[in-house]
Amino acid sequence: MRLPRNPVVLLPVIAAAGGLAFLTATLIVNRIERGAHTVVSAALSAEDIGWAEVAVDGLQVHLSGTAPDEAARFRALTVAGGAVDATRLRDKMDVTPGQPLANPEFSLELLRNTRGISMIGLIPDGPYRDSITQTAEASSGGQPVGDMLEVAYHDAPASWPLALNFALEALEMLDSAKISVTAEKVTITALANSAGDRTRLQTSLARKVPEGVIAEIEISAPRPVITPFTLRFVKDTEGARFDSCTADSETTAQAIADAAREAGLEAPARCTLGLGAPSSEWGKAVTSGIAAVEQLGGGSVTFTDVDVSLIAPAGVDAKLFETVTGDFQAALPGIFSLQSTRPDPTPEGAGPAQFLATRSPEGQVQLRGRMPDEASRTATLSYARAQFGPDQVQSGLNLDPELTEGWSLRVLVGLEALSLMKNGVLTVQPDLLRLRGVTNVENGQARISGILGEKLGSGPFDLNVTYEAPPAPEDDRSPERCVARINDILAQTKITFSTGSVDLKGPSLQVVDRIADIVRTCPNTKMEIAGYTDDRGRDELNQQISQQRADAVLAALIARRVLTAGITARGYGEENPIADNDTEEGREANRRIEFHLLGDTENTGSSQTETTDEPN
């Protein structure tokens, strides 16, 4: 068939064909878009990626939304690329901004024992590793030092240097310890050689804790070996009390305290815990003895290792005495040996022979009363002078050959006990030794009871000893005392510099060591290190040299880990001469370093040391 040649006739045909083609293409594209959207959305949903949004533009598949992190964004792309051709994907996804990296938690563990020192932890970059290593090596006594430190290149927290310096000071003081350090807190767990050493270390460390740092200090001491193992419980007209009390465990001490309260003790029961109990049944033996005293209505029971002495009150009924002592003997473990005494009443008006020793608070000792013979009197006087001093003893002893056997021994043992007293009165009678007074010795009554129990055995004695703490020593930490102590050192020593030098060397470093030891005990004292020269040379040069030398002393203290927040250094050049600059001796005196006390205290004096270098 031949088409019409007229163009007007062809135009409608062409337009109809084009419209049909466009419609067909549009339907195909829409179908492709819907198919891609459905396939990709289903794939993302199957992988629980709900945050991603899908949009299709022709053949292009656009992924949008905010991914929680970069890994989630990459996972969404991977899943979508598995559902359609990856080249069709267009990534329009955002990622949640990440949090900035926080500074690491710096911490340090210092472990010290007889085998050496171990250093473990993460510390900041800077001079800290060298300081820790140097201190550990200097304190190790030649033992190995294990270095397991790691360094993080971050700034140290503001309080880290303070905490670290305190920990290193503790390391130098303690022979066996675990020291844990963070910027805010230092935890010290250590072992001391004795209870006294523990108290000293705890007090010293507590004084060194810097402001802004929390310190937890736990120092334990091994229990002492107590010999003899003693206990003495008394009940008389003054009430119930312990003259001494020792126990081998907390459980035993509690059982003893409970028994004493049942017997009328009102004051707290304080038993010294220690090693050396003669039997694992010490607690059972002691509680039986205390119960016997209560059943007798008074008296005393004394344990000296396995020797036991029960003294009934005067006038106790004989039948009651026999019953109680029989029950007590049956209750005692087999290793213990009991001696029971029922004193006879003293006839009215009878005055027993006695020995009397009186010690005054000033230390003067007077001896009065009776001794059995001349040899005993001479021995007693010699012993007293040896105990109290030859110029402190006055004697008025008389002879009485009728005195009971063992009199001299009881007198000498009583004088030994009196030597532990600040002041007191010792009375020795045929059937009693009595001691009254004041002691400055901690646990003095227990020690006295131990001496009497060990050396007199079952002999009855009566103690009433009061403890008074010794006078407190002068506070060496006051600003005035700190300066005075530095002055005591510097009055005998000199800080020297080589000619034209500002470096400390040789003996001068030893002087700074001693000054550092004092400054550590006075962390809050404000002081100035002042440098001076003589008047030779230019003023500007003299001032510069004096400043540099004062700075050198301050730097030396810092190198010794001294807290120097309150210490400043200042050069004064040729100002304030203390001697004549017209003589060599005067110029040498004017070339000096001084320590001035700052703050509210006037600098009426200064602690100073001269320098022996060349001019200026």
Whether the pLDDT of residue 350 is over 70: the answer is no
Q: What is the pLDDT of residue 24?
A: 53
Q: Which of 110, 107, 180, 108 is nearest to 140 (CA)?
A: 110
CATH number of 7-95: 3.30.300
Record the tokens describing residue 559, joined without a space: 């190198």
Please give the Cα distance from 608 to 527 (Å, whole number).
12
* pLDDT interval class at 450 (50, 70, 90): confident
- Cβ atoms of 494 and 611 within 8 Å: the answer is yes
The β-bridge partners of 67 are 95
Position of tokens 């067909």? 24
Rg (CA), the chain: 45
Quote the pLDDT of residue 289.
96
Beta carbons within 8 Å of 202's beta carbon, 6+ residues apart: 217, 219
Is pLDDT at 166 greater than 90 in this prediction?
Answer: yes
Q: Report the interhelical angle of 318-331 vs 282-296 (nearest 10°).
A: 170
- The per-residue pLDDT for 98 is 64
pLDDT > 50? residue 293: yes
In this prediction, residue 111 carries a pLDDT of 92
Per-residue pLDDT at 102: 64
Percentage of the chain modeled with pLDDT above 90: 26
Q: What is the pLDDT of residues 295-334, one digit of tens each?
A: 999 999 999 999 999 999 988 998 999 999 999 998 999 8
Q: Is 439:466 a contact under the CB 8 Å cutoff?
A: yes
Average pLDDT, the chain: 83
DSSP secondary structure string, 236-262?
Answer: ETTEEEEEE-EESSHHHHHHHHHHHHH
Among 93-102, 114-123, 387-396, 460-469, the minimum mean pLDDT is found in: 93-102
**Mean pLDDT calculated for residue range 27-37:** 63
CA end-to-end span of the chain, whole Å? 128
pLDDT computed for residue 303 by the predictor:
93
Confidence of residue 4 (pLDDT cuts 50, 70, 90): low
| Element holding 211 (H helix, E strand) | none
Which segment of 280-289, 555-564, 566-575 scores lowest on mean pLDDT? Answer: 555-564
- Least confident stretch, 33-47, 552-566, 602-616: 602-616
Tell me what pLDDT residue 26 has.
52
Phi/psi at 235 (nearest 5 deg)? -135, 115
pLDDT value at position 610?
44
Q: What pLDDT score does 9 carry?
A: 55
For the record, the structure tokens of 407 come out as 């009199």
DSSP one-letter code for 225: B
Is residue 504 pLDDT above 60, yes or no? yes
Residue 354 main-chain phi, psi, to 5 deg: -150, 160
pLDDT, tens digit (0-9, with 9 covering 90-100), for 411-447: 999 999 999 999 999 999 988 889 999 998 888 888 8
Predicted confidence at residue 117, as pLDDT, reads 92
- pLDDT above 80 (res 108): yes
Weakest mean pLDDT among 9-18, 88-97, 547-556, 603-612: 603-612
CB-CB contact of 13 with 20 (8 Å) = no
Q: Kindly report whether the global pTM for this prediction surpasses the value 0.75.
A: no
Main-chain phi, psi angles of 135, to 5 degrees: -65, -45
- Check residue 488 and give its pLDDT: 77
Higher-pLDDT residue of 30 and 585 is 585
Does the pLDDT at position 13 exceed 60? no
Per-residue confidence band for 6, with pLDDT thresholds at 50, 70 and 90? low
pLDDT given for residue 126 in this prediction: 81
In the prediction, which pLDDT does 164 show? Answer: 93
Would you say how long the chain is, in residues? 616
**Which tens digit of pLDDT belongs to each residue from 170-185?**
999 998 899 999 989 9
Give the domain 107-220 fold.
Answer: hypothetical protein tt1634 (3.40.1520)
Instruction: Tell whether the model's pLDDT for residue 502 goes beyond 70.
Output: yes
Alpha carbon 170 to chain centroid, angstroms: 8
pLDDT of residue 611: 45
Q: According to the model, what pLDDT value does residue 522 have?
A: 83
pLDDT of 355 higher than 90: yes
The whole-number pLDDT of residue 486 equals: 82
What DSSP string describes 133-173? HHHHHHHTTT--EEEEEEEE-SPPPTTHHHHHHHHHHHHHH
Q: Which CATH architecture has domain 355-467?
A: 3-Layer(aba) Sandwich (3.40)
pLDDT of res. 1: 47
Give bridge partners of residue 609 from the DSSP assignment.
Answer: 593
The residues, any chain, with a CB within 8 Å of residue 64's CB and separated by 6 or more, are 52, 53, 55, 92, 93
**Cβ neighbours for 408, distance < 8 A, ≥ 6 positions apart:** 371, 372, 376, 379, 380
- The answer, yes or no, to whether residue 135 has pLDDT greater than 80, is yes
What's at 232, amino acid-wise? Answer: R
DSSP strand pairing (116-124 vs 145-152): parallel
Residue 44 pLDDT = 85
Higher confidence at residue 13 or residue 206?
206
Query: Above pLDDT 70, what percent of the chain?
Result: 87
Smallest CA-to-CA distance from 411 within 445, 444, 378 is with 378
Q: For domain 479-610, is the CATH number 3.20.20.100? A: no
pLDDT at 253: 93
Side by side, which strands form the sheet with 60-64? 53-57, 60-64, 89-91
131-136: long-range contacts, CB 8 A cutoff, minimum separation 24: 131/164, 131/168, 131/561, 132/108, 132/164, 132/168, 135/168, 135/171, 135/172, 135/561, 136/110, 136/171
Q: What's the one-letter identity of residue 571? A: G
51 or 591, greater pLDDT: 51
